[in-house]
Structure 1
Amino acid sequence: MPYEPPPYLASLTLAEIAALVADRNLPPVEGWAPKVIGESHMVIAADGTWFHEGGVIRREAMVRAFAGLLTRDAEGHHWLVTPFEKLAIEVEDAAFIATDCVRADGALAFRLNTDDIVIAGPDHPLRAAGTADEPALYLDVRRGCEARLNRSTWAQLAEIALAEGAQDNGWQVTSQGATFSLLP
């Protein structure tokens, strides 16, 4: 069956976005306890490109499949988990890249480079890092993994914040009742 990417976020209501999020069936990685632990020889570069043994993984379907198996432990190590193996994967910055942002019905929705959609809120907070000269914003995605907002998505979020009076509220945005600072 051919892959159908989700529609543009700007054309959707929050209910439609939430339905897309709910329709994403992820493997039950949390319930798996593989006995084999090893090395995947994979790297996720800071720009979101996936590599295996030095070569770029060009099949987007493979990247989406691997992304559904990704976790990060309390020590900050990333893993690809299957029922049979737990393989270390090197992540240079964040496991995902947020490539689009929209305000919909009081929430901020983000599309990732894997076409996953995440709605910021108490379960998926935004985190400001970096410096004032080089800010970096991260979105909690799942299982400890984060998405870094790329430059254009950061600009979209800044425009939303400005339209909502960010200069008066200390550069904060809200989503699903949670408030997040955009300043490191």
Structure 2
Amino acid sequence: MTQLGTETVFVPVSWQQLRELVDHGELNEPLPAYGVTPGLVAWGEFGPGDGEDALFAAQSVAAVAALRLPGGSADGSEVPRVVLAVPAAGFVADADDTLGTGRLPGLTWPHVASVFSDPAGLDLTTARQAAATAADLGQAWDDPVVADLVDEHDLGWHTPEEAVRWCRGDDS
């Protein structure tokens, strides 16, 4: 990784994975993660002073990857995309990385620094379909429907405690 934004990576998770992480405290499986890697820096043409922009780009790529995850709840209703910000310790960039792609060996709840998600009621159906049918993340990123979503709807920031309340059905 480069010196730009090396401290944080973004992990897209499904609603089911979020609940498992909250309920059990960990996900013991390799997880895709997105960070400021040499590939992302080259792709975005980021310079030394562009750390915040590069980090936002990594979060945006993770948000697109979240579209490719299962997007329904147990009752069949639409759920928002969820992206977790976690320390980069253990993150390994993919050898063919171009979009900040890599992996974490697993994740524990205490390491979640913040949670990003869509606002309630945002219809993601068309964007999920476009992302799911794309051959890969790069093609999903380039899809006009997905690009419009990325341009028009930033994920909102939430504390981990808020995510615990969501998972337990307490939206207060």
TM bucket (normalised to shorter chain) is under 0.3
Bigger strand share: 1
Bigger helix share: 2
Could you tell me the TM-score, scaled by structure 2's length? 0.23
Could you tell me the TM-score, scaled by structure 1's length? 0.22
Structure of higher CA gyration radius: 1
Which gives a bigger RCO, structure 1 or 2 (Cα 8 Å, sep 6+)? 2
